[in-house]
């Protein structure tokens, strides 16, 4: 994954993906295309880790620590217990948030097991709208906010009918910097429609749009890092 900032123009959506990388789930070896219960929970766990104010590198390393310990289901996480989860979080470099995150994971997994039999696909099937889906996920535990929801649901866009999160701010920033959106696009809904049209016009399937959206997230974050660096040395 590159950390370079976007140039002022991009030739195509494919160029952006090749340059910055696509879905984070794919990078972690998770295939969401079939909406498999196990795969969806793995990505949910990753989204919970990525949602904290921690670097992508440390969040990914911590997810892989969970994978090595075979802690990739709500049942296994519950069985490991608080002390065991803190140890795994520390091993992944998540020490700053280890106590809080261990408590959150136990709470979320407990509610998921109690209400939906541990099955996020079942949770989605019971949701009556995108808003209801988001509320059901939020209600699983404290600390599931807009950032975590956005991370989790954007890679299920086109897979789950109710996975329709708004575009994240880094996506909008990168899309404008790369010339996919003009500065007049301030409404996230209209911006999403426009980016979907570009994606379709270039011959891509709607189900693969999360690759482009994730690439724009990466590009937007790189742009922010470049701006922060410029301020720090300016």
Give residue for tokens 């195509």: 12
Question: In this predicted model, what pLDDT tens digit does every residue of 186-233 receive, in sequence order?
Answer: 788 899 999 999 999 999 999 999 999 999 999 999 999 888 756 666
Tokens of 98: 């280890």
Alpha helices in the chain (DSSP H): 13-20, 24-27, 37-50, 56-68, 74-92, 98-116, 120-126, 130-138, 146-154, 169-177, 188-201, 209-233
Q: What percent of the chain has pLDDT over 90?
A: 84
Q: What pLDDT shows up at residue 234?
A: 58
13-233 under CATH 1.10.340.30, yes or no: yes
Q: Check if the beta carbon of residue 184 is closer than 8 Å to that of residue 16.
A: no
Q: What pLDDT shows up at residue 95?
A: 87
Average pLDDT over all residues of the chain:
93
Q: What pLDDT shows up at residue 11?
A: 78
Mean pLDDT on 151-166: 97
Helix 209-233 crosses helix 188-201 at what angle (to 10 degrees)?
120
d(CA 176, CA 70): 41
Q: What pLDDT shows up at residue 188?
A: 82
Question: Quick one: pLDDT band at residue 3, thresholds 50, 70, 90?
Answer: very low
Question: Quick one: pLDDT band at residue 183, thresholds 50, 70, 90?
Answer: confident
Question: In this predicted model, what pLDDT tens digit does every residue of 115-140 receive, in sequence order?
Answer: 999 999 999 999 999 999 999 999 99
């Amino acid at each position: 994954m590159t950390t370079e900032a976007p140039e002022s123009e991009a030739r195509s959506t494919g160029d952006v993906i090749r340059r910055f990388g696509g879905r984070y789930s794919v990078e972690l070896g998770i295939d969401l295309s079939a909406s498999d219960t196990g795969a969806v929970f793995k990505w949910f766990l990753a989204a919970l880790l990525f949602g904290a104010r921690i670097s992508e590198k440390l969040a990914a390393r911590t997810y892989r620590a969970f994978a090595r310990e075979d802690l990739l289901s709500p049942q296994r996480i519950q069985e490991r217990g608080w002390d065991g989860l803190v140890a795994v979080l520390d091993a992944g470099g998540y020490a700053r948030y280890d106590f809080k995150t261990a408590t959150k994971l136990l709470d979320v997994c407990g509610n998921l097991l109690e209400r939906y039999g541990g099955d996020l696909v079942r949770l989605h099937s019971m949701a009556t709208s995108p808003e209801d889906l988001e509320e059901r996920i939020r209600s699983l535990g404290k600390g599931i906010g807009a950032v975590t929801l956005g991370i989790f649901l954007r890679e299920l866009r086109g897979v789950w009918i109710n996975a329709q999160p708004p575009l994240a701010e880094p996506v909008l920033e990168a899309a404008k910097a790369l010339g996919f959106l003009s500065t007049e696009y301030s409404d996230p809904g209209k911006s999403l429609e426009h980016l979907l049209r570009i994606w379709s016009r270039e011959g891509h399937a709607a189900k693969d749009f999360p690759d482009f959206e994730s690439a724009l997230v990466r590009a937007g974050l790189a742009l922010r890092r470049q701006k922060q660096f410029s301020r720090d040395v300016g």
